[in-house]
Structure 1
């Protein structure tokens, strides 16, 4: 297979027991792989919350926005993760809706979608499923495991569960656990979905010739809350201000998703509303509401220290090197949280570099600033923590890393993580 070819499919992994104790007879995992495997050149890329296995490909039906070629500027021939040199695998996690087993997939016992009968999933489940997929593909030890946001948590779980299975790991814009503010916002987003009259307890898919009536409005509101988690007052003021979009210039279909009240005709329909409506419209056409519930719960539940007491104990058996990348404008997964992780690795003598990017994009910087992500990742692959493009905060003059109240740049219009 050439560096530009894509090996894609869904692998049946047989019986799988989830951390919750429930078992399904046949877990399917959808994946994409790029490049040629030579025995010691494999890289696993872990996607973010609503991402997919299509890390560098565009031509997969049913994906758009972040789900399609979401790291196409980093993965590919001649790029930072060079598919002429490395065999790159990305798997859609259990509970998602891009080909892996999840609430929207078929329960073989009933012939209907699983819906809310699908077992609760955890990041630990994602990691074990990925390990079994790699076993199926004939991949043993990995050169690198890399991922951003909740994908970075997935990377950390690899170091915890399978400490001998990777030479290098790179959690990007990640943390060992979510803080209470993010937990609260995610809880509100889930309640928006469950409050939608079409949610129907999670069984909204229809059957046979029945028309499905998914909870589009609830999912749209949930995603809009998610979008706001990646913005700041400064970025929103610069991009939108208080400007009116005008109803005639609003996004077509927005009124169908969010019908205005009578008095709305007197007040302006603002650009920020138009922006959120547009992105919500795009999202509900490509993602499953139950999957959003399942995956946000997996992210919220994650705590690297669970079962070990402290993060350093959880990763103490890892024998490779670590690159942490954080962004000064990210309040969702902060620079301070990455430094907390770096300190945990340092305390158990694991070689680690914490590379801080001076960025005002916010949390989505790991997606929309490839020029700042590619150099440290490429050098980490080449030279470990001594890569020439890597600046470790441990060598800075200041002993503490400031989370900062940095300004945020204008928000990218289509790529969001979580």
Structure 2
């Protein structure tokens, strides 16, 4: 669409459009007509073109990840800027952008640190579901509706803070590039940035969904010689092997703990392990699967609310490293455009992770595919 259409026809006006609303947990999303307010200062209103369905969205729906409801979920989107509020300088109407849950304000302690990427303006760890001014831009049936993680991509139009909006190449394919907003960088960056996987190493990936698949691609790109994939859903194994997994294990097929199986397979434990599921048991198993002296375990999965990780501290005293990774340790406004450029130059393989595409109105079907394990990443098209 032309820049003129975005900047003149709807700018400054309330837009009525369709959105998928989570009125409560443990229930299907409801396609509703919503009103989307114009952006305020420092904000951007975006026409959403595509959105991935992420496991974190499912955690919200099943109640394990607590956020205020009702809300418009979705945090892995690609779109086109429709209008901007005052003091927005990095994007303009007509720009192609990624919609990312993690902001980069470039002013806080984390943003100013060379290695920090957890911007202090995030709405991830204690989500309140509102814009930074404490209000929302969404209304449905006269009721205010929360956003989610500062993004809300399950809607034809959304409003975000400029600090979470990333301008990308004008030629980027909008029907695919949305997964570069979360799933791909989260997994790929966990391998190449957080763990810094080395050539010839052995890696273990717990969970072979969208994020776990991106971890596999990162391990492969870094030169790992053996990649062991762990999942209880064997439907994922064929795709995992195509991406680079060398050994696929179903923990339910063994009479001993999977970490013991891995220790026996690798003699001394893996060099690098990754947890991309989000349960306490698999986090401990991942830690205990890596080499006691120099193994690195990276936690990526989102654990249920108020859960506590418990393990023998001697597991670390021997030299293991346990760490977390958020969006692959990428500084989103600085680094994600470069990731998109590498995708455009075919230096990274993103498309192989996309197994299904559905029209937005079939969003509940997309969640069914996710829960069944039949898809790696499902893309919604608007």
TM score, norm. by length of structure 2: 0.25
Structure with greater proportional helix content: 1
Structure with greater proportional strand content: 2
